[in-house]
Amino acid sequence: MGRRKLEMKRIADKSSRQVTFSKRRSGLIKKARELSILCDVEVALLVFSSHGRLFEFCSGNSLTSVLERYQNHREEEKESKDADAQGSTSENGGKSHAELLQLVQRLVEEPDYEDFNVTDLVELEKDLTIALTQTRNRKTQLMMEAKMSLQEQERLLREEKELLEKEVATLMANSSAGEEAGPSSNPPATLNLFQ
């Protein structure tokens, strides 16, 4: 993507490696930001330079929250794998959730239904485990969204409160203008914070 094509291996020259690092790093962060905005997804990016400097990008709140989410994800994955005994890796189950439900429903509602042997049932169990994991992930996602929504509501409330406080301050200043020397004699209210 420049004057000539680069081989995909460590750049030998130290100086141009540093230059390339700087350029590509900012490009990568830009693209991470674009992905998070365009597709409305959470993205976290960590880069440690060869000298140990840390460069990071995070779409939403803090990297910490993303990492917490990652930990949750891993735990859920681990749980489902444990339940899975030694079944296949976390490949996507071939069946839709609706399909799975139909199968289970037939098994439960029709005692004579005998098209399943043990192998099929093992497979079904695996698919159900995957579905459960996906469901839990989705649940986590919904709870995260609910939390975000609440935080947004909190923010709005705070803004309203600030507006009200300003109104009150204005009213107070007006009603007491005759008694005191005037607004100029009052130190800014914010100073109270710092004494």
Determine if 6 is a binding residue for DNA (CB under 7 A).
yes
Cβ at position 57, least distance to DNA in Å: 13
- Distance between CA atoms of residues 69 and 59, nearest Å: 13
Determine if 138 is a binding residue for DNA (CB under 7 A).
no
Residue 2 binding: pick among a copy of itself, DNA, none (C-beta 5-8 Å cut-off by kind): DNA
- Distance between CA atoms of residues 128 and 177, nearest Å: 73
Residue 138 binding: pick among DNA, a copy of itself, none (C-beta 5-8 Å cut-off by kind): a copy of itself
Determine if 47 is a binding residue for DNA (CB under 7 A).
no
Determine if 182 is a binding residue for DNA (CB under 7 A).
no
Location of structure tokens 């986590």: 140
Closest listed residue to residue 173, CA positions, set 163, 160, 161, 186:
186
**Exposed (0-12), middle (13-18) or buried (19+): which is 129, by Cβ within 10 Å?**
buried
Choices 29-37, 135-143, 152-160, 162-170; region in contact with DNA by CB under 7 A: 29-37
Residue 116 binding: pick among DNA, a copy of itself, none (C-beta 5-8 Å cut-off by kind): none
Closest listed residue to residue 130, CA positions, set 60, 81, 176:
81
- Distance between CA atoms of residues 139 and 170, nearest Å: 47
Location of structure tokens 């060869």: 50
Residue 30 binding: pick among DNA, a copy of itself, none (C-beta 5-8 Å cut-off by kind): DNA
> Where does this chain bind DNA (CB under 7 A)?
1-6, 15-16, 18-20, 22-24, 26-28, 30-31, 34
